[in-house]
Amino acid sequence: MKTLIKNGHLVDPSQHLDAVKDLLVENGRIARIADHIEDPCDEVYDASGLVVAPGFIDIHTHMRDPGYEAKEDLVSGTMAAAAGGITRVACMPNTKPVIDSAILVSGVKKRAEEEGYVHVEVIGAITKGEKGQEITEMGDMALRGAMAFSDDGHFVENPNIMLLAARYAGSFDKALICHDIEEGMNHDGYMHEGAVSARLGVPGIPSIAEDICVARDAIIAEYTGTHIHIAHVASKGAVDIIRQAKKKGIPITCEAAVHHLTLTDEACASFSTATRVSPPLRSWEHVEAVREGLKDGTIDCIVTDHAPHADEEKDVEFRYAPNGFCGLETSVGVILTELYHTKLFTINEIVDKMSTRPAQLFGLNAGTLQEGHNADITILDLDKEWTVDSSRFYTKGRLTPFEGKHCKGKAAATMVDGQFVMKDGVVCKK
């Protein structure tokens, strides 16, 4: 099978490529990049006026499979990823049962290969059942292909357990992905503690609930030399701590979620349960700090923290709603609208944060358009104007705080292993 992508604006930070060229895909791999390619092909895709980038990677998603298939499953979740221009996702282990053993890692990976529309990486749990009491057999899970380890949804409170986990994971050259929010400070609040929560009379979660945990885990990263990756950074203090830790050479990296880059706690004033997330949406000074951290390299990549729920779970009072909402189908459009078209970030920076850098962080064979590599490709129409309409989503949990948002920029096509899995917003049948 040979596919020729013609006249695309190729943007690939991995090889400092930023030029209009043709790209030839053959047998699932990138065969050649040149100014003009005239080889006979099975398909020619005209990418004139479009950006051709290495496939976008989302290293923080919740596929909810196994056990919570009413919220999402590997088929619907990977279809949502394909629709959103994402070629590879990493799924968190807070499923039922928790992905805390080699057999579960193997099972999810095998099913994803058979049923999924995009590549699926599996993140194993740090502690058994994510209970924070006993570390898992990370070595066995690593041998079965676990990308990293996390108790996402929970902070590993016991420092002895975290220290032991860091030493163990480090011996397999694997990272720990940390959900750093102190449980005691987080327990009674359900939005950011600040002027908005005071005005609404809502119990708040202080930003130092993040900062304290990030500081501890930075110290553990320095002490053990193990790569620690901080999930969904949302506070100014956490950004500052990570920035200083990186200056010291500590092996710490981090990510920011789309919503923490584009929304503030003012969105919670509507009491829409779509705005209930963890960490909470914070005030503008925190959003500015997260953007600055992304710009200066303190924050390594952009994620969705795609966390769909069944409709009935979110159709409750704000205080009782579970944290999270779907994000795979809106991330590219929202980021292009809020960060690219506002001239805060270049398209090269966005591709780096959503493709090249995530691949580098976790040693993935992805994030590049280099010849010979897998043909995982995201094609972007930077000027496509569209309105978020959740009724057209592929994900099962369709609640989103971006409902009705007018966006400029969208994925035009998604290619995985040399095969188009989405064109013009429609996922291709397998």
Catalytic residues: 305
Rg (CA), the chain: 21
Check: CB of residue 86 under 8 Å from CB of residue 58: yes
Residue 384 tokens, joined: 């496509």
CA–CA separation, 125 and 99 (whole Å): 6
- Could you give the dihedral angle defined by the CA atoms of residues 138, 139, 140 and 142, in that order, rounded to the nearest 10 degrees? 80
Number of H-type helices and E-type strands within the chain: 14, 19
Phi-psi label, residue 298: left if phi above 0, alpha if psi -120 to 50, beta otherwise: alpha
Check: CB of residue 225 under 8 Å from CB of residue 248: no
CA–CA separation, 402 and 388 (whole Å): 7
| DSSP label of 128 | G
Check: CB of residue 340 under 8 Å from CB of residue 347: yes
